[in-house]
Structure 1
């Protein structure tokens, strides 16, 4: 069953960015624009352009206490003699030197990011026009000190055109739902611009007024079905052209493993969506939609299930002493680490910290991970906690405090690496102790044994060897 009314409620109450956040975002952008107008940043500002999910109206509410990003382009005239890097560096300088934004500012390759105390951050990127010839638009690559051609306005126009072919904004709504699946399940990696492009190519002008996009669940089923068909016909990573700039391949945002994982899970979710729509009773349909979206879908309904919930099954695996068996790994791969019982994080072989705890221990400590083929390779692809990975290559773990700040110099980092899984235990690799960083504060760990593993960062004050910060577990699921 489609359950159109339930989808309307689910989007409004759970998926869509609520109006309070939208209004606050607008106020913050106005403040940034006023700040730049009065700053000593040299480029002449022509206009500001919304970009990304914000501009496309596909932005969603952050899940699991995450953040939502808003992208703001600053269109400027070229400054004589300036290199690409100068635009970004100088923009970063004016924000970092200010009392208002100084501690909130981080400078990246293309943009300056302002991170607020709540769940919002704004990326501000210079967009230089008419540097090469009249009408050219270029973003600035600070790392390589190069200008990269960009067509953000044309891309936004393309997304809006695709949405115009659907009824009741169903294309945009389905796009938000697929992003929600990505964020809540954490089963695959796909940056929003790549995901939006893949989705956009699944609707054409002849779809206008058709039943395939008549409502939100129909649009979701159509898009996932067409996307799955396209992916299954391409076992190897294909090219995904930027529709507004064909020379740019968005598929470069993936590695081969991430593409294979995305392909696999789109196929799985396509099947689940079909089963939910084909269900003959409301209760059965709600249960099947919850397999896709979690228990927030139709959350006012008390649906009696014929079998134990997924969480109860996971707890049964654990309590029966089978936490390291394949059944639990497969269940987590399907439903995400959110179904793990709390006791999973404290297996018997895990060591307790040898350092005493400070009076105040910050939990505002974040672990990030990049997947790389080898330890010596350069930057890898960012992965999410709980993302399913093949047993190849490894991960570089890094740590930040207060969302984006480096660990203070008066502290040091130790990593607790906890392995689980039948293969690791059989090889006597059931680690649960503390390790020193490999490079700076970062830690390298190879991917080898099937299981659900954890990495945690502990921050210890040098003056008294007390723990002052501890991260939540970063889950590594090896297939």
Structure 2
């Protein structure tokens, strides 16, 4: 069943970024514009351009305490003699030297990021106009000190044109829903610009006024069916050209493993959506839509939930100890780590922290992970907690405090690595103790044993060996 009204409520109450946050974001953007116009930054500012999901109106509410971000391009006239890196570095200097933004600023390769105390961050990137000839627009790559052509206005125009073919903004709403599935399930990696482009190619001019995009659930089903058909016809990673700059291949944002994983999960979710649409009763349809979106869909409805069944199965498996069967891994891959009960986090072989807690212990410690084919291989790709990974290669774990800050020099870090799963336990490799970092505060862990494993970071003050902060578990799911 379509449940059109339930989708309307679900978007308004759960998926869409609420108006209070949008208003606060717009106010902050205007303040940043005024700050830059009044600053001593040398480039002459022509105008400001919104980019990404904020500009496309496909921005969604952050899930699980995450952040939402907005991209702001500063279109400037070229400065004689300036390199690409200089535009970004000097923009960072302006913010770092200010009383208002110094403690919120981080300078990255292409942009300066301002992170606010709540769940909002704004990326500000220089966009140099007419540097080589009239009409060119270029972003600045600080790391490689080079200019890269960009057409952000054309891309936004392309997205709006695509949405115009659908009825009642259904295409834009379906795009938000697919982003929500990505963020709430954490089953695949796909950066927003790549995902948005893939979705955008699933509607054409001849779809205008057709029944395939008449309402939100129908548009969602149409997009997922067309996307799955396209992916299944391409077992190897295809090209995904930037529609506004055909020489740029957005598929470069994936590696082959990420593409295969995305392809598999789109196929799975397509089938779940088909089942939900085909359900003949409201109760059955809600249950099946909740399999896709979680319990927040049709809140308040008293129907049985597939997630609850999976969670009950998880509890039964845990009664047998940490050497759980592959069934648990399959359930977590399907439904996410949210089905894991609290007892999963405290298996019998888990060691307690040996440090005395300080008077105030911060929970604002975040674990980051990067997949690499080997410990010494080149740059890898970021991995989300709970993302399904193959039993090969490994992860470099790192951490930040207060969302983006490095661990202070007066503290040291220990990692608690807890393995579970039948194979690891049979080989007496359950661990659950504390490990030193391998490289500064980073810790390398290879991916070997099928199971749902945990990595946690603990921050200890050097002067008195007291615990001052620790993270939530980062779940590593090995297929």
* Aligned-pair CA distance for 1:392: 1.3
Q: Distance in 2 between matches of 1:46 and 1:314?
A: 58
Q: Residue 218 of structure 1: SS of its match in structure 2? A: helix
Q: Deviations over 1:335-376 (max 9, x none)?
A: 000110011011111111121111111000001111111111
* Aligned-pair CA distance for 1:387: 0.4
Q: Residue 460 of structure 2: SS of its match in structure 1? A: strand
Matches within 5 A, 1:309-458: 309-321=309-321, 324-458=324-458
Q: Distance in 1 between matches of 2:209 and 2:300?
A: 32
Q: Residue 313 of structure 1: SS of its match in structure 2? A: helix
Question: 2:2 maps to what in 1?
Answer: 2
Matches within 5 A, 1:76-91: 76-91=76-91
Name structure 1 gaps, 5 residues minimum: none
Question: 1:265 maps to what in 2?
Answer: 265
Question: 2:193 maps to what in 1?
Answer: 193
Q: Find out whether 1:243 has 2:243 as its counterpart.
A: yes
Q: Flag the 1:177–1:323 CA change in 2: closer, same or farther, 3 A.
A: farther
* Aligned-pair CA distance for 1:313: 2.4
Question: 2:128 maps to what in 1?
Answer: 128
Q: Distance in 2 between matches of 1:382 and 1:413?
A: 21
Q: Deviations over 1:380-411 (max 9, x none)?
A: 11111000011111111110000000000000
* Aligned-pair CA distance for 1:312: 2.2
Question: 2:20 maps to what in 1?
Answer: 20
Matches within 5 A, 1:145-294: 145-294=145-294
Q: Deviations over 1:244-283 (max 9, x none)?
A: 1111111111111111110000000000000000000000
Q: Deviations over 1:150-197 (max 9, x none)?
A: 000000001001101100000000000000000000000000000000
Given that 2:236 and 2:256 are in contact with CA atoms closer than 8 Å, whether structure 1 keeps it comes out as yes
* Aligned-pair CA distance for 1:116: 0.2
Q: Deviations over 1:77-134 (max 9, x none)?
A: 0000000000000000010111110000000000000000000000000000000100
Question: 2:75 maps to what in 1?
Answer: 75
Question: 1:44 maps to what in 2?
Answer: 44
* Aligned-pair CA distance for 1:308: 5.5
Name structure 2 gaps, 5 residues minimum: none
Matches within 5 A, 1:50-61: 50-61=50-61
Given that 2:45 and 2:75 are in contact with CA atoms closer than 8 Å, whether structure 1 keeps it comes out as yes
* Aligned-pair CA distance for 1:205: 0.6
Q: Distance in 2 between matches of 1:309 and 1:169?
A: 35
Q: Flag the 1:322–1:108 CA change in 2: closer, same or farther, 3 A.
A: closer
Q: Flag the 1:403–1:92 CA change in 2: closer, same or farther, 3 A.
A: same
Q: Residue 286 of structure 2: SS of its match in structure 1? A: helix
Q: What TM-score comes out, normalization by structure 2 length?
A: 0.99
Q: Distance in 1 between matches of 2:459 and 2:322?
A: 33
Q: Distance in 1 between matches of 2:382 and 2:163?
A: 29
* Aligned-pair CA distance for 1:323: 5.7
* Aligned-pair CA distance for 1:304: 4.0
Q: Residue 437 of structure 1: SS of its match in structure 2? A: coil
Count of residue correspondences? 479
Q: Distance in 2 between matches of 1:383 and 1:313?
A: 27
Q: Distance in 2 between matches of 1:340 and 1:180?
A: 20
Q: Find out whether 1:302 has 2:280 as its counterpart.
A: no
Q: Flag the 1:295–1:126 CA change in 2: closer, same or farther, 3 A.
A: same
Q: Flag the 1:308–1:382 CA change in 2: closer, same or farther, 3 A.
A: closer
Q: Deviations over 1:196-255 (max 9, x none)?
A: 000001110111111110000000000000110111111111111101111111111111
